[in-house]
Amino acid sequence: MKRLVWLLVLGCFGLPIRALGQEPIGPVQPGVTQQRTSGETPAAEVPTAAQQPVVLDPGAPAKTEITLDRRTQVGAGIGFSGPLGAVGSLRVLHGLGADVRDESTRVKAVCAIPMPHCAQGFLLQADAGSGGGKLSLGLGARARVDDEDFHGTAGVALRLALARTWGHPIGTEPGLTYLGPELDLSVIRINLTLGVLFRVSGDRGSSALFSWGLGFGL
């Protein structure tokens, strides 16, 4: 069966197929007659390294296994931020999930980006604290890595945040609405948020705020 498979492969590539024990047929020169002395035993043909058959094992396991599928990842966290104060967060990432296994390493990741290669993903986050609440929509990616040198999570996100202050906000007055971009970075469950929020409603308090936050993922 293996020999039949190799014959089919060679035939598909247009390579000459030589039967076992046959001499290759070369071009015949004019006026030259090839003769073999009666009783002469032809020398056994020794296959070269290039003629040795390559044996493939279809049952051998792949070194790297990759599984792709749509995935929704839900996470929560607590922290302290401005202008919201003490805050609790709920985050949803929807997009393309990847599960990569390579010997002793495993990575489980979600790509939440609105493009075809990431299944038109998105990131949605809600925050509520002592000084206000915030609703954010954006894009991002998050991964959990299990390796000999690193065990934990890592992620990055870019969000457009809409914040409403109440209670005792930090750096501004209650009853105001702010809008602006924020960048999130996270490593080993520690989350850092940096951004700028601009006042879109109300006439008191700061017209622009430096948004910041330090949190812990649950």
Quote the pLDDT of residue 20: 40
In terms of residues, how long is the chain?
218
pLDDT, one tens digit per residue, over 99-149 is 999 888 899 999 999 988 888 999 999 999 999 999 999 999 999 999 888
pLDDT tens, position by position, 61-81: 557 898 999 999 999 999 999
Side-chain-facing half-sphere of 188: CA atoms under 13 Å: 3
Distance from C-alpha of 33 to C-alpha of 216, rounded to nearest angstrom: 89
- Taking the complete model, does pTM exceed 0.75, yes or no? no
The CA-based angle 17-21-26, given to 5 degrees, is 55
CB-count burial class (<10 Å; 0-12, 13-18, 19+) for 85? middle
Question: In angstroms, what is the C-alpha Rg of the chain?
Answer: 33
Max Cα–Cα distance, the chain, nearest Å: 114
pLDDT (average), residues 176-186: 97
Which residue type occupies 98? A
Name the DSSP class of 49. Answer: G
- Gap between the Cα atoms of 24 and 28, Å rounded: 12
Write the DSSP symbol of residue 149: S
Taking the CB of residue 24, how many other CB atoms lie within 10 A of it? 7
Q: Specify the pLDDT at position 12.
A: 39
Would you kindly state where each structural domain of the chain is located, as residue ranges? 65-217
CA distances from 66 to 62, 110, 111 (A): 10, 13, 15
For the beta carbon of residue 123, count every other beta carbon within 10 angstroms: 26
Phi, psi of 120 (to 5 degrees): 50, 50
CA–CA dist 93, 121 (Å, integer): 7
Q: Which pLDDT value is given to residue 203?
A: 86
Tens of pLDDT, residues 16-65: 444 444 444 444 444 444 444 455 555 555 555 555 555 555 565 557 89
**With 50 as the cut, is the pLDDT of residue 4 above it?**
no
Q: Which of 114, 182, 187, 115 is nearest to 155 (CA)?
A: 187
